[in-house]
């Protein structure tokens, strides 16, 4: 950081991302990233950051990105659960940062679950 303007730009960008995590309402879609030790070790932090970036970039004000502790399936981490009003929960497993843009565009924007990223029976 070399100037006050750079610092202000970073602050503004981070405030936009944090806004996507606050004030979850009844009609909001929640994207929940498992951030227990197992999730973090498997790479959940970059996944969480990428979701926040994508949601902020697309100005999806009704989508809130939050974190939780252990989801209980350590071997499938990083795990992301999507809770949309009036729909069943969708669980994405072994999520990598490069998968996030497709989940956001297809599922959160388009309403189509990316089934190849979900738990298989």
Nearest residue to 55 via CA among 30, 81, 92, 89: 30
pLDDT at residue number 55: 96
- Per the structure, how many domains does the chain have? 1
Domain CATH code at residue 89: 3.40.30.10
**Which pTM was predicted?**
0.79
Alpha helix (H) residue ranges in 20-120: 37-42, 44-57, 97-102
- Cα–Cα distance between 45 and 86 in angstroms, integer? 28
Q: Which residue segment(s) compose the domain that 32 sits in?
A: 4-117
The band of 104, judged by pLDDT with boundaries at 50, 70 and 90, is very high
């Amino acid at each position: 950081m070399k100037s006050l303007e750079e610092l202000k730009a970073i602050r503004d960008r981070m405030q936009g991302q944090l806004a996507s995590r606050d004030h979850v309402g009844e009609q909001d879609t929640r994207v929940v990233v498992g951030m227990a030790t197992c999730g973090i070790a498997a790479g959940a932090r970059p996944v969480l950051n990428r979701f926040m970036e994508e949601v902020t970039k697309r100005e999806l004000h009704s989508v809130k990105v939050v974190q939780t502790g252990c989801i209980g399936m350590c071997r499938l981490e990083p795990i992301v659960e999507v809770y949309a009003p009036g729909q069943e929960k969708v669980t994405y497993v072994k999520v990598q940062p490069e998968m996030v843009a497709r989940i956001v565009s297809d599922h959160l924007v388009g309403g189509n679950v990316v089934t190849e990223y979900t738990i298989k029976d």
